[in-house]
């Protein structure tokens, strides 16, 4: 069968063809992005107007990154997004202060820096005018839900500052027009039996870290900073001061003075060994390479990432979570929730557990405790009066 005749007149816009059929001319538009053909009917004037509009709408999808850079240069001589991102990272973020006047934590700045690098790769070469809602949505959709929401939040802040500096005209916060993704935490809580198996398989230095985490309920970033010379003697009691890196700059709840009870005192005593170190959690490195040791405050120091990796290794080695997907398997951080539940079982009030965790709200503490508790609704005493069953 002969192919259907198609005509491409000089009077027709690009991608629009006229196809005579049985004495009637049909107009079809070929999508330049995916090659799909769509009928635009038999009205030439309407088909031409539609094709012109479609060509304009789809033009930006056909431009490569170099073309976009050239277009941006023609459309505006103002600062590019990449230039502003440098200003945002080096001037705006370091200048931020909490309500108490504290700067952002070092960990927070590192997380922002990683996200800014991703945003710079995607949008840094562009001008503000060519960044469409469609492009921002496509970028966020490529990320996992949790990462997508974090990048979206940061981009909203960036656009807000750019608007305030007069970089975006008209002042439209495009990332704010997107919808945050639903993110459900799938991670399963760590059981006491799982903890004990991992503890039994661990080396001495990591057992100390596990015990300190379970007794103090502190985060890994704080546990690796526990020092022998930080222990204080007051009124015949020993105290372990903790400045939580995550919350010390935002809340008084992040500065804790922990009275050392008999159980914790035993753990601290076990931390003293033949390795001379100022840190409670310490180990001799397998390789004492200078470039590696120079990054640490002391050659025996342990990093938070080492705790995460060792916990993951032992968790998988003992197969305590073998039936769970990688997203469901507990991490070192889940020791906080397990310890909080054990304190609750020991008779501690929720308020006391909240203070030990360093939470500023009861809601967050309840979130930790709920991981190990199933909610049950207690009804009135069940059983109908005996007269109901009489015949």
CATH 3.30.160, domain 16-62, yes or no: yes
Measured CA to CA in angstroms, residue 314 lies from 32, 252, 280 at distances of 54, 35, 21
Selection from 282, 312, 315, 316 nearest residue 299 by Cα: 282
42 near 70, Cβ under 8 Å?
A: no
195 near 335, Cβ under 8 Å?
A: yes
Instruction: Round to whole Å and give the CA distance between 290 and 310.
Output: 23
The pLDDT value recorded for residue 67 is 60
pLDDT tens-digit profile, the chain (391 residues) = 444 555 555 578 888 988 888 788 889 998 877 778 888 888 988 888 888 888 877 776 665 555 655 555 555 445 689 999 999 999 999 988 877 677 887 778 889 999 999 999 999 999 898 899 999 999 999 998 889 999 999 999 999 999 999 888 888 999 999 999 887 767 888 999 999 999 999 999 999 999 999 999 999 999 999 999 999 999 889 999 999 887 766 667 788 999 999 999 999 999 999 999 999 999 988 776 665 666 678 889 999 999 999 999 999 999 988 888 888 899 999 999 999 999 999 999 999 999 999 888 888 888 888 877 666 677 777 877 766 655 5
Instruction: Round to whole Å and give the CA distance between 256 and 356.
Output: 7
Query: Domain coordinates of the chain in residue numbers?
Result: 16-62, 65-177, 201-370
CATH number of 65-177: 1.10.150.130
**Beta-strand runs (E) in 31-165:** 37-39
For the chain, the residue count is: 391
* Alpha-carbon torsion angle 43, 46, 49, 54, nearest 10: -90
Handedness of CA 101, 105, 110, 114 (dihedral sign): negative
In this structure, what are the phi and psi dihedrals at residue 37, rounded to the nearest 5 degrees? Answer: -105, 140
The pLDDT value recorded for residue 359 is 87
Q: Which two tokens stand for residue 349?
A: 């009030």
What is the rounded end-to-end Cα distance, in angstroms, of the chain?
86
The pLDDT value recorded for residue 289 is 63
Q: Which two tokens stand for residue 182?
A: 């639903």
231 near 271, Cβ under 8 Å?
A: no
Instruction: For residue 27, give every residue at least 6 positions away whose Cβ sits within 8 Å of its Cβ, in sequence order, or none.
Output: 16, 17, 18, 19, 39, 40, 41, 42, 43, 44, 47, 48, 51
The pLDDT value recorded for residue 290 is 61
358 near 254, Cβ under 8 Å?
A: yes
The pLDDT value recorded for residue 121 is 94
Q: Which fold has domain 201-370?
A: hpI Integrase; Chain A (1.10.443)
């Amino acid at each position: 069968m002969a192919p259907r005749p198609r005509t491409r007149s000089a009077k027709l816009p690009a991608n629009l063809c006229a196809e005579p059929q049985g004495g009637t001319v049909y107009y079809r538009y070929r999508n330049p992005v995916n090659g799909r053909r769509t009928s635009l009917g038999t009205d030439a004037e309407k088909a031409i107007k539609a094709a012109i509009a479609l060509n304009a709408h789809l033009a930006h999808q056909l431009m490569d990154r170099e073309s976009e850079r050239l277009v941006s240069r023609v459309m505006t001589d103002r600062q590019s997004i990449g230039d502003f991102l440098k200003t945002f990272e080096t001037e705006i973020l370091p200048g931020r202060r909490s309500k108490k006047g504290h700067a952002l934590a070092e960990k927070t700045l590192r997380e922002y820096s990683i996200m800014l690098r991703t945003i710079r790769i995607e949008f840094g070469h562009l001008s503000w005018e060519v960044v469409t809602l469609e492009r921002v949505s496509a970028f966020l959709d490529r990320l996992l839900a949790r990462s997508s929401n974090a990048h979206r939040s940061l981009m909203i802040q960036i656009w807000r500052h750019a608007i305030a500096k007069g970089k975006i005209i008209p002042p439209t916060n495009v990332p704010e027009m997107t919808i945050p993704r639903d993110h459900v935490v799938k991670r399963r809580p760590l059981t006491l039996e799982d903890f004990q198996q991992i503890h039994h398989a661990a080396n001495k230095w990591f057992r100390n870290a596990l015990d300190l985490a379970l007794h103090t309920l502190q985060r890994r970033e704080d546990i690796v900073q526990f020092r022998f010379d930080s222990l204080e003697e007051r009124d015949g009691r020993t105290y372990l001061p903790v400045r939580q890196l995550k919350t010390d700059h935002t809340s008084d709840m992040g500065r804790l003075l922990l009275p050392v009870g008999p159980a914790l005192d035993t753990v601290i005593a076990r931390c003293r060994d033949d390795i001379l170190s100022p840190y409670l959690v310490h180990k001799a490195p397998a390789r004492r390479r200078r470039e590696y040791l120079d990054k640490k405050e002391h050659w025996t120091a342990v990093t938070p990432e080492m705790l995460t990796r060792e916990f993951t290794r032992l968790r998988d080695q003992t197969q305590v979570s073998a039936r769970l997907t990688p997203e469901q398997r507990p991490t070192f951080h889940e020791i906080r929730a397990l310890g909080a539940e054990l304190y609750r079982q020991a008779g501690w009030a929720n308020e006391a557990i909240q203070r030990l965790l360093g939470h500023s709200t009861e809601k967050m503490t309840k979130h930790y405790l709920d991981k190990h508790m199933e909610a049950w609704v207690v009804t009135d005493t069940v059983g109908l009066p005996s007269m109901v069953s009489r015949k």
